[in-house]
Amino acid sequence: MKNESKFSSKLGFILSAVGSAVGMANVWGFPYKLQQGGGAAFLLIYLFFVVVFGYVALSAEFAVGRRAGTGTLGAYEAVWSERGFTTIGRFIGFLPLIGSFCIAIGYAVIISYITKALFQSLDGTLMNLNSEAWFGGFSSTAFSVVPFHLFIVVVTIFTCVKGASSIEKSNRIMMPAFFILFLILAVRVALIPGAFEGYKFMLQPDFSEAINVNTIVTAMGQAFFSLSVTGSGMIVCGAYLNRKEDIVSASKQTALFDTIAAAVAAFVMVPATFAYGMEQSAGPQLLFVVLPKILQEIPAGRLFAVILYVAVIFGGISSLQNMLEVVAESLMHRFTNLKRIPTLVVLGLLLFGIGIFMEPISQWGPWMDFVSIYIIPIGATIGAITWFWVMKKEDLLDEINMGAARHYGTFWHNIGRFVYVPFAILICVIALVFRIAF
């Protein structure tokens, strides 16, 4: 049964797709990897992969979702059934779908941490504490952010209650706010003495890094995960896209805004750490140890702490929303007797019930590593192979060209088949063999 819920406009679709893509990979992953990878050298490599993945991978996932009229499970079943492998199709989509839900469990925990930081910014306590001791205290304690955790899960469920309609409406608020708030922070950071050294580092290429295999692989992985081409989440966005819209054009715009989000975050994080002589940290250390130290030194730091954590919460909820929606929609498609609100509530209870045991960072870290090393890369690779090697070329191109301003043919498909798919397989192999969590 095809889902009849649709985004009301191309803008609503793009904001929702950008909301799905924008998340922790942009806020704490990109600035750290940019700094570790030689600044502009890493950026140029990253942009190359964004162009490739945005052009074919995003487009394919949107197209598959729109053609199937549903999310992950129905889309895989439709494609494999066309080749006579209905049984495989009915089950193969579960791995990327499980990946979405497992990532959602971890996301809900970290957004709960951020919500705690926001509340302590509002009451001013964040401005007068030792950030290492503060973060170490609550992140090492079981059930330390339960009220914030519950709040995040409830808010996410609420934004999904009407499917495409409520997702679009919430992202029309959250995404512009995310960009505006980060731009405010970027302007403030620009006024800090010493910030120029950070900009210089970011924009002056170290070409020795451009031939560094580690830098290339890291940039590829960052682009892959930042655009959320994981064989699941973006499919449901496509399922809600009107058939008159140009998919490739929408994909390019989604990739553009996702890249701008990463760049704006970097223009906040990197110059700030340079100005205060701090080492750029990845992951939770950046948001909960390094940045609070900087905010404590900045005039009106309390205000900017509130702005920072509100912006990150918006980016996090928009991603979490997509992860929850793709699971709910897929289950309702497969099991047609399920109703939306009860399904969302049950998924929310699972998200919260499992997640509270992941609240200590000692549990959260291994969980996220396991998901990002084993489940997500394999699921994404299954998706890439399915779209460009299992799906009939003419079927995929028919959907890509539906509403397109120009015609896409063999050239576009070959980029997907002979460039994107090998990259997806490479990321998967590297993650599995070297146990790298991108």
Residue 100 domain-assigned?
A: yes
- The answer to whether residue 228 is domain-embedded is yes
pLDDT of 379-409, one tens digit each?
A: 999 999 999 999 999 999 999 999 999 999 9
pLDDT at 4: 60
DSSP 235-282: HHHHHTS-TTS-HHHHHHHHHHHHHHHHHHHHHHHHHHHHHTTPPP--
Domain that holds residue 32: 10-65+94-434
For residue 125, the model assigns a pLDDT of 95
Shortest CA distance to 348 belongs to which of 69, 79, 104? 104
Amino acid at 383: G
Q: In 3-state terms, what secondary structure has residue 338?
A: coil
Distance CA(286)–CA(305), nearest Å, equals 13
- Assess if residue 88 is contained within a domain: no
Tokens representing residue 68 in the block? 């199937």
* The pair of three-digit structure tokens given for residue 58, joined into one six-digit string: 């995003």
How many domains does the structure of the chain reveal? 1
Question: What pLDDT is recorded for position 104?
Answer: 96
What is the per-residue pLDDT for 201? 87
For the domain that residue 301 is a member of, what is the CATH number?
Answer: 1.10.4160
Q: For residue 3, what pLDDT is reported?
A: 60
Classify 9 as helix, strand or coil.
coil
Q: Tokens for 9, please give them.
A: 């406009």
Record the tokens describing residue 274, joined without a space.
Answer: 């340079």
Whether 359 maps to a domain, the answer reads: yes
The pLDDT value recorded for residue 78 is 96
pLDDT at residue 2, rounded to an integer: 59
Q: Is residue 209 part of a domain?
A: yes
Distances (CA, A) of 426 to 188, 322, 419, 421: 40, 26, 11, 9
> Does residue 340 belong to any structural domain of this protein?
yes
pLDDT value of position 1: 52
- pLDDT tens digit sequence for 139-175: 999 999 999 999 999 999 999 999 999 999 999 999 9
Q: In what helix (H) or strand (E) does residue 402 lie, and over which residues does it extend? A: none
Q: Are 222 and 51 in contact (CB under 8 A)?
A: no
Q: What is the pLDDT of residue 23?
A: 84
Average pLDDT by stretches of 10, the chain with 438 residues: 75 93 87 87 93 97 96 96 95 95 96 97 94 94 96 97 94 95 95 92 80 89 92 94 94 96 92 85 84 92 96 95 96 94 97 96 94 94 97 97 95 97 95 85
Per the listing, tokens 């997806």 go with 424
DSSP 413: H
Evaluate if pTM is beyond 0.75. Answer: yes
In a domain, residue 70? The reply is no
In a domain, 428, yes or no: yes
Place of tokens 């509100």: 310
